[in-house]
Amino acid sequence: MSADPAEVHIDMRKDGPIAWIERDAHGTTVALVGELDGGTVPEVSRTLDRECERRPGRMTLDLSGVEFVDSAALHLFVKVDRRLKEAGCVLELRFPTPHVQRVIELTSLDTLITTRPRAL
């Protein structure tokens, strides 16, 4: 990472669902890990709400470390997407694991939110 003061990398708690947050001139990336379910979504929701308030232009959720999502996580993704669109911003789901990618496809969430699967 360059010395540009606009770039910020924040390491989060190792035992929580948020691994790190990175902000730069292109937007915000939030790396999520573990299971996103009714027990972890409230913490993720609070963090994403704070990041949405910054109007990042583009918010990317890095899902490469997420093993499981339930309906609470899917609902959160839709809620964040709507909030960002209202502010003229974009949400992207990046590198979901195969299981999470399958859930995204089965629920047609990929037709609503830009999803960038890992290249094979």
Give the number of domains in the chain: 1
Any domain includes 2: no
Give CA–CA dist 101/27, Å, rounded.
Answer: 23
> Residue 83 maps to which CATH number?
3.30.750.24
On the question of pLDDT at 73 being above 60, the answer is yes
Any domain includes 70: yes
The whole-chain average pLDDT of the chain stands at 91
Per the CB < 8 A criterion, the answer to whether 91 and 80 are in contact is yes
Q: Which domain holds residue 51?
A: 10-116
On the question of pLDDT at 7 being above 90, the answer is no
Any domain includes 5: no
Any domain includes 1: no
Any domain includes 102: yes
Residue 2: its pLDDT value, please?
41
pLDDT band at 113 (very low <50, low <70, confident <90, very high): very high
Any domain includes 4: no
